[in-house]
Amino acid sequence: MLDIKFIRENVDLVKENIKKKFKNELLEMVDDIIEKDEEYRIFLQQAEKLRYERNEVSQQISELKKKGKDATELMMQAKNIPEQIFQIEKKSLLLKTDILDIQKRIPNIIHSSVPIGKDASDNVEIKKIGKPIVPKYEIFNHAELAERLGGADFETARETSGKGFYFLKGDLARLSVAMNAFARDYMIKQGFEYMEPPFMIRRKVVEGVMSFAERDAMMYKIEGEDLYLIGTSEHPLIGLFMDKTLNKKDLPFKITGFSTCFRKEVGAHGLEERGFYRVHQFNKQEMIIICEPEDSYKWYDKMLKYTIDVFKALNVPIRIFESCSGDLADLKAKGCDVEAWSPRQKKYYEVGSLTNMEEAQARRLNIKISGKDGKYYAHTLNNTVVATPRALIAVMENNQNKDGSINIPKVLQPYMGGLKKISKK
């Protein structure tokens, strides 16, 4: 969320940023908020003037009474002032609410390094890590292979829960848990604090961490309560710092969180297909950073390296795709997707994403830093370590043998009691 003072003083920049995101329909919002802001400030001046007048009249009444003179006229005047102030404050409060709503809808200023493009088709490949290999033998579809190995049940899940759910069983379930455990321990070694957050958050937190469009497309609302199921542990972990002023010497805060994630996937393709690729519920190991503004892009690079290291250890080739301006959600200043190689499909697919929100989330949630020059907003970043359904597919395909058995990456074997391979029961 942009500061209203920043919008007021940088109208052309804000409009140009909207154009770069190919959202020209939002341009009129800038003119609207400028007009409302001007009216709001006039109301504030009027209210302040009336308060001053009230104090002056009260003093005059007091002086007249001391002298034994008639103060009836001034008392009538003073009696009307509070009502005038009340009406002005009522109008200004409504205006302030409108201004805040528009502020939340105006996109964050994108970083100067972000490539300009209309949608995901204009995203830019940064680099590839690992050699993408297509074996001479057939790579089985992950859903079919999971069933063949006795590791999944999709049909019963449809009956118990509907489309987009699954039962994970046996060694495949153990492999999923092992991946998250390895990711957790790796992040702890990097100095991150491990947390397991609440799986539900209040609306105030939801609106602080994401745009309205993202909320409506992703979040499940708990009927009759001010609660939403989380779409990622990033949401409650950032919310952990809501309305807090952080001491400069304590920064950065480095947290890695594990949670089950819940997503509507409204309008998403693939829910009709069996498998783990697009589901309503999955497990994920996440990392977040709360830091000084000048350090956020150093952490952006470090966080990307952490994800690269994890997928290297899992024997999964990946590539990094930078999000163009039109593909960035409105709160994001810069972001990229991590894509894993699929030898079966002979292409890469998304397994995680890294984002620098700069101060957008911190401003919405009132997360400040106390420094020697006063208080200012922190920067927040988030990144997927592993999201096990999609990462599980990548491990199954890239470590698959001709007979359909799966070699367990060495880093995961200690988490599976030394088991080296998953074979058909």
Q: What is the pLDDT of residue 1?
A: 84
pLDDT tens, position by position, 236-289: 999 999 999 999 999 999 999 999 999 997 545 554 467 898 899 999 999 999
Prediction pTM value:
0.89
Beta bridge partners of 347: 342
Distance of CA 246 to the CA centre of its chain: 20
DSSP 271: T
Domains and CATH numbers, the chain: 4-105 (1.10.287.40), 120-422 (3.30.930.10)
Sign (positive or negative) of CA dihedral 206, 208, 210, 213: positive
pLDDT tens, position by position, 283-308: 999 999 999 999 999 999 999 999 99
Q: What is the pLDDT of residue 273?
A: 67
Q: What is the pLDDT of residue 59?
A: 81
Between CA 86 and CA 92 the distance in angstroms is: 10
Close Cβ partners of 279 (under 8 Å, ≥ 6 residues apart): 164, 165, 166, 265, 389
Between CA 289 and CA 252 the distance in angstroms is: 7
Between CA 52 and CA 270 the distance in angstroms is: 64
Which H helix or E strand runs over 255? strand 253-262
3-state SS, residue 41: helix
Alpha helices, H only, 67-190: 72-105, 142-148, 155-160, 170-189
Residues lower than pLDDT 50 in the chain: 267, 271-272
Q: What's the token pair of residue 287?
A: 């990392």
212: left (phi over 0), alpha (psi -120 to 50) or beta: alpha
Sign (positive or negative) of CA dihedral 87, 89, 90, 96: positive
Between CA 219 and CA 207 the distance in angstroms is: 11
Sign (positive or negative) of CA dihedral 295, 301, 307, 312: negative
Sign (positive or negative) of CA dihedral 176, 182, 185, 190: negative
Residue located via tokens 């609207």? 32
Q: What is the pLDDT of residue 271?
A: 47
SS3 content of the chain, % helix, strand, coil (to 5): 45, 20, 30
Q: What is the CA radius of gyration of the chain?
A: 27
Averaged pLDDT of the chain: 93
Closest by CA position to 341, among listed 309, 314, 373: 314
